[in-house]
Amino acid sequence: MARVTAPALPTIAPVEDILADLEWRGLLAQTTDRDALARDLAAGVVTVYAGFDPTADSLHVGSLVPLLALRRFQLAGHRPIPLAGGATGFIGDPTGRTTDRVMMTPEEIAARIVLIKAQLERFLSFDDGPTGAILADNLEWTAPMSALDFLRDVGRHFPVNQMLARESVSARLESGGLSFTEMSYQLLQSLDFVELYRRYGCTAQIGGNDQWGNITAGLDLLRRTERASGHALTFPLVTDSAGQKLGKSTGGGNVWLDPSMTSPYALWQFCLNVDDQDAGTYLRLLTFVGREEVAALDTETAARPFARAAQRRLADELVALVHGADEVARVQAASAALFGGGALDALDEDTLRAALAEAPSLRVEGECPAVVDLLAEGLGLSKSDARRAVKEGGAYLNNAKVVDESAVPADSDWLHGRFLVLRKGKRNVLVVERS
């Protein structure tokens, strides 16, 4: 999978109180000692990290919660470390699972780490200053260790009774048990904290609330091995108003950050379809839009929900952040053109294909049928209903009104040589593709 060129990082005014901003955004669930963390943040540069395991070929939109949190810390004058889980990916975090994870091959993990590292680099500034981000990979310090070294130097610091008491472990034990391999994930993540402290002076780890046990285990190991203290900060686990995990589309699949897996148009459309109850929440979590504007959008959503102002702002911001400002213009043009507000032949093929992906489709081979026949077959109409749509001026081919009931698409009508866009009325769109 090709690496995507990074969009320019947005120009964002830093906040003076990062913890207050995180609280307002709903990004602060637990901290080990909020007052101590606030003092350290006020005293100078704090190095903070979050881990990202290679569970797929791409990060998904839910991954933006910790990734953008790292960016927020950087904008507040601190140094972020995005950690790619080249080692922890061999095992897989048992948190939230009821069965053992299917193990990936070393080659699969290595390929995914390359892709994930490229995505992590797109959201942070890696300059040479004191707040310049550091991209790390825990395979670097884990792979050289022998099993005996790991058990002696790390394992001996973990009382079994404490490990069994941690929620991520106890939940799996109650649901049928977990392997020693998965149980050791906690040790590997704890070792990461210690190594990042040794190499870069990292004293804070952030992550989802389900990571609390693993993060605090790292703090314990830091105290035992380095006689040092640190901080843990977790975010609430984010679900939508239907209880579905952030990043899941209505079709059940993840909303990916890689444009070849979720196109910019599909990401934009995902945002437009966000429930009114979730739009303000997602603006806080996934963008850098400020308090006053979010409050105004909340008010407008309550008063005029049909306008979907918050969803449109979310869509524009998220597509710009993930794919660049140029893509926002493309997806807006595609959306307008699809429903008659622009020229379909002005869209490039990839954008057009993405915009048409969710519409009903019909494939034809050989000679193309008449428009009436295509409408009838593709939209499930009777022939008389299709003819009536043409007669009443409600049928369109590539946004041009069809006036002849016997009209057949010409070769010149095929967009990029392969697509026709038929529409009945304002919203009933049909895509015709020829083989």
- Residue 6 — very low, low, confident or very high, per pLDDT cuts 50/70/90? low
pLDDT score at 248: 55
Q: What is the pLDDT of residues 392-406, one digit of tens each?
A: 999 999 999 999 999
pLDDT score at 8: 60
For residue 19, the surrounding DSSP H or E stretch is helix 18-24
Percent of the chain residues topping a pLDDT of 90: 73
Burial (0-12, 13-18, 19+ Cβ within 10 Å), 116: buried
Residue-averaged pLDDT of the chain = 90
SS3 24: helix
26 φψ region: left (φ > 0), alpha (ψ -120 to 50), beta (else): left
Of 258, 183, 242, the closest CA to residue 217 belongs to 183
Q: What is the pLDDT of residues 194-244, one digit of tens each?
A: 999 999 999 999 999 999 999 999 999 999 999 999 999 999 988 877 777
Over range 92-117, report the average pLDDT: 81
In one letter, which amino acid is 426? Answer: K
Question: Under a CB-based contact definition with an 8 Å cutoff, are residues 202 and 193 in contact?
Answer: yes
Q: pTM of the entire structure?
A: 0.87
What secondary structure does DSSP assign to 72-139, as a single string?
HHHHTT-EEEEEE-TTGGGT---TT-SSPPPPPPHHHHHHHHHHHHHHHGGGS---SSTT----EETH
CA distance 70 to 236: 16
Domains, the chain, in order of start with CATH, read 18-235 (3.40.50.620), 264-356 (1.10.240.10), 361-434 (3.10.290.10)
Of 38, 17, 427, 409, the closest CA to residue 204 belongs to 38
SS3 245: strand
CA distance 162 to 186: 11
The two tokens of residue 81 are 């470390």
Find the range with the poorest average confidence among 161-170, 203-212, 358-367. Answer: 161-170
pLDDT score at 7: 63
Find the range with the poorest average confidence among 173-177, 182-186, 215-219. Answer: 173-177
Find the range with the poorest average confidence among 162-166, 254-258, 310-314, 334-338. Answer: 162-166
